Chain A
Amino acid sequence: MNPKVTRRRFIKGVVASGAAATTTGMWYAANGQDRPGGAVERLIRINVNGQMRSVDVAPQETLAYTLRYKLGLTGTKLGCNRGECGACTVLVDDVATYACSVLTHSMKNARIETVEGLESPNGDLHPVQQAFVEELSPQCGYCTPGQVMAAVALLRENPNPTREEARHAMSGNICRCGSYDSYLDGVMRAVQLG
């Protein structure tokens, strides 16, 4: 700080941190966290990867937050936390869903699948995962779990898509590395792997 500046020499611009917090508060709001003194967390049970999990959940808590920070399932990534990028895609009753954009409390009767739940009990990769390895589909890998889940959702709905159909089905998932071509190669190989 400049000690020479006096109040006579400048236009005082007191920006209460309420203004500053409009920038930083986005995280706060997007994560569904309430301010202190707000609503309390409730213990609920949700079905994640075939297991019933008990977890304390705040009223506005997103599924992505619960999965990552309360259940330790960090394969689900947060790229934007506002439904733009798809990195947090999980399956809810077989439907590809942005986990950043649904509330955990709404998941009580749902079947949630994350990237951690795809491998077989003996450690074999899911055909989509195996195909993505063989085609070297990922680059930086941050969007990959979301891409995997979007592809799994597609192939459950349509086991034999055309490349064009796959392109449309995957279009809710951004890859900043631009590996779309390689992901589509992976989806088409996964069709062959069954």
Chain B
Amino acid sequence: MATGEYVPHAPGYVDTDDPKIVTSRFGYEDSYTLDRYLATGGYEGLKAALGRTSEACHNITREATVLGRGGAGFPAGIKWGFCPPDVWPRYLVVNGDESEPGTYKDRLLMERDPHQLIEGCLIACYSIGLTQCFLYVRGEMAVAQQRLADALNEAYEAGYVGKNILGTDFSVDIVLHWGAGAYIVGEETALIESLEGNRGMPRLKPPFFPAAVGLYGQPTIVNNVETLANLPWLMSNGAEAYKQYGSETSPGTRMFAVSGHVKRPGVYEVEQGVTTYEDLLYGDKYCQGIRDGHELKMFIPGGGSAPWLFPEHVSLPLEARPVGAAGTMLGSGAIVVMDDSTDAVKACLRVVRFFARESCGKCAPCREGTSWEEKILQRILDGNGRPEDLDLLLDIGDNISPGPYPVASDESQGLEAVPFPPRQTTICPLGPSSVAPIVSALRRFRHEFEAKIATPVELGLRGPNAPSEAEETGLRGPNAPSEAEETGLRGPNAPSEAEEVAS
């Protein structure tokens, strides 16, 4: 059914009149075929790259400041430069294990435009001498795997991948690899462990910085799908053209997935830095505001790991630095919007439960701490919370991420923001991420937690920590202080007056 007609959008993607760098083909029904790719400027970026020296291509990427789109936002050109000069071979590992709650852009890029990703991989390999590329796709993305397998077979057949690409000395193999369901494998060292056939547990940095000691102990560049998808356009149009979009410190465009209680949720490609959360959430060409009859209560600004933001923060630009200073992160470009119908405790529990389920179990503070956090939040939600639980939650969080945890400002309470990132007692940031919803929700909505703890009676059932019947009725239960203690009268087993005087 490859009609080639431009349809308004692929499922989830919303087309706007904004400049497009990575989603330019999403409207075509057959966007994933080699024919459509070639008809729309495909592999021209590779040809432009091969017309230059490798070093020149690396320099263009460096000049353009292509920021990593996976979450950390580190410039790709600088990351590439971290490979030790004389150690060979070097590998490219593409991080397509997209699983951060709220995030999906890489899946669309792989499903809708697999050749663009392949071309991006080739350009990265050419630029810094990477001789084999592994495309690690999330296990659950069957359609993306199928499209990439087809695209790779086509590209090999047509001479774009493999030996002597386009008649040059440039030769590289791209291997499709896929995972099997583990969020933590999105962390780059865990991804490498998984690619070596092991349990996907993160490695300690140092020494295991992938650019120095990565796959099979060799220098390895791990780049996000969206990051690489920018390279074909960049090579065709140059760094200056790329920098015309976005802000000075965050050039180019970025894909944002806005989900939750907005009128038109979707994946949008917008200019970074110059667009704000407000534009995206309320703009007519974007999400068109909160659904009717409701108001914004809070939003997750950068994936499940990000501390929450609130209505007064919507004017922040979509740029890593100001969002970091505001106490959270731009992260993976995932915005989850929650309106006033949302129960803050329930939302907090749901995000924490995710981290408890996905903890790999390597570091004790995370392995134990995340499940404790989940259990405590569950009992508060069930009406069995204890008054000390709120401090207990914060204490557990402090053991995973010591010190003041990043959190947004709260003018109504006169509280300032604590800037990102959090500190950690763990190898990777998964455990500390579980603290984000707790600190965010507790600081802002402590009264909601307290209300649940103060009113444990639901449907007439009493939780174990509810005030005892005795306390309420005046009847004495077995653990009530004895009459003797209260009245000063001595019972038969009390120490004798003589014993007390002696001690």
Same complex for A and B? Answer no
**Chain A residues with a Cβ under 8 A of chain B:** none
**Chain B residues with a Cβ under 8 A of chain A:** none
